[in-house]
Homo-oligomer: A and B are copies of this chain.
Amino acid sequence: MGAKIAKPKPGADAYRLDEQVGFVLRQVSQRHTAIFAERIGCDLTAMQWAVLAKLREIGATSQNQLGRATAMDVATVKGVVDRLRGRGLVDIDSDPDDARRRVVALTDEGMGLVDAHAAAALAISDETLAPLTAAERKTFLALLLKLR
């Protein structure tokens, strides 16, 4: 019995890295990052753009709130905000009502930059989804949102 067919190990041989969600997810993220870097046109990373875009949406906020709104760790947000501040795209002020808080706000230059590149940002999302049809994109996004 079972002379010719090798017994498959329960696990090791059934596991193919290339079929695992996490692995493919990372590859798709990498592709998106590459598209972003090539297309954004103002030497910003996706994270930096996320912070600027969020500030444009919701206005000035504390670093903590900003971190939650952009799904970033507080420690991470600090680095990103520091770099944006170094480029004069955001300002940091103390909150008169709460001495713990450091309120981050877009500068005029930052505001202008967001508006100037919003179309490029949309094009990036579009190119990332380019391999899919319109119907597939809708399906994909809906499912992706469920996995958040």
Q: Are B27 and A32 in contact (CB under 8 A)?
A: no
Min CB–CB distance A94 → chain B (angstroms): 26
Q: Convert A74-105 into 0s and 1s, putting 1 for each residue whose CB lies closer than 8 angstroms to a CB of B.
A: 00000000000000000000000000000000
- Taken together, the copies of this chain in the complex come to 2
Q: Which residues of B contact A139 (CB under 8 A)?
A: 139, 143
Contacts of A21-35 to chain B: CB distance below 8 A: 21-33
Interface of A: prevailing SS: helix
Determine which residue in A11, A46, A129 has the highest number of CB atoms from chain B within 10 A of its CB, and name it: A11
Q: Does A70 contact B (CB under 8 A)?
A: yes
A59 to B17, CA, bound (A): 14
Contacts A23-B50, A132-B147, A140-B140 given: A9-B115 contact, CB under 8 Å? yes
Q: Convert A126-145 into 0s and 1s, putting 1 for each residue whose CB lies closer than 8 angstroms to a CB of B.
A: 00110110001001110111
A55 to B24, CA, bound (A): 18
Q: Are B10 and A144 in contact (CB under 8 A)?
A: no
Q: Does A119 contact B (CB under 8 A)?
A: yes
